[in-house]
Amino acid sequence: MLIARSRIRKLIPHAGVMCLLDAALSWDAERICCTASSHRDPDNPLRRDGRLAAVCGIEYAAQAMALHGALTALEGRQVAAGLLASVRDLVCNVGYLHDVDRDLVIEAARLLGDGSRVIYEFRVTDGSNELISGRAAVVLDAG
């Protein structure tokens, strides 16, 4: 089920140009796959000195995780605000994302979680090549 940018903007707290995702291509209870083209936008809010460092891919992954949380909440789970607490095993296979000509494909898989925290594994690719990957811990605000 494709989820367009207009709906994504209603589901995650990232407003305006800070909403980096274009669409969610697929999702289920444990994983999500999204796309983005904003890495090529010269006005991307994460760019510094005209460049978008590969580590900014973490924000793309975090937004995919936030969208996944919102979508699974729509299936009966309580919506909780999340805070990115840590990133582990980060691998950057490129230095910059603005040089990537193709759309980004952002995949996040929920490894485990309870009422107060979730751990996701993520990868950002150009559809063929892995650009960055890692694991992220998200602390949820239960109230």
Position 60 in a domain? yes
Position 87 in a domain? no
What is the number of residues in the chain? 143
Specify the CATH number for the domain of residue 31: 3.10.129.10
In tens, the pLDDT along 17-45 reads 899 999 999 999 999 999 999 999 999 99
For residue 52, pLDDT over 70 is answered with: yes
Position 64 in a domain? yes
Largest CA distance in the chain: 43
- What CA–CA distance (Å, rounded) separates 19 from 78? 22
Kindly report the backbone phi and psi dihedral angles of residue 88, in degrees, each rounded to the nearest multiple of 5, phi listed first: -125, 155
Threshold 0.85, pTM exceeds: yes
Which pLDDT does position 1 carry in this prediction? 73
Residues 132, 58: contact at Cβ < 8 Å? yes
Residues 108, 58: contact at Cβ < 8 Å? no
Q: With bands split at pLDDT 50, 70 and 90, how would you rate the model's confidence at 127? A: very high
Position 86 in a domain? no
pLDDT mean across residues, the chain? 91
Position 26 in a domain? yes
Structural domain boundaries enclosing 30: 3-80+94-110+123-133
Average pLDDT of 41-65?
Answer: 96
In tens, the pLDDT along 61-99 reads 999 999 998 898 755 555 567 788 999 999 999 999 999
Task: Provide the phi-psi class of 49: left if phi over 0, else alpha when psi is between -120 and 50, else beta.
Answer: left
Position 41 in a domain? yes
In tens, the pLDDT along 95-120 reads 999 999 999 999 999 999 876 789 99
Position 117 in a domain? no
Domain count, the chain: 1
Position 98 in a domain? yes
Q: With bands split at pLDDT 50, 70 and 90, how would you rate the model's confidence at 135? A: very high
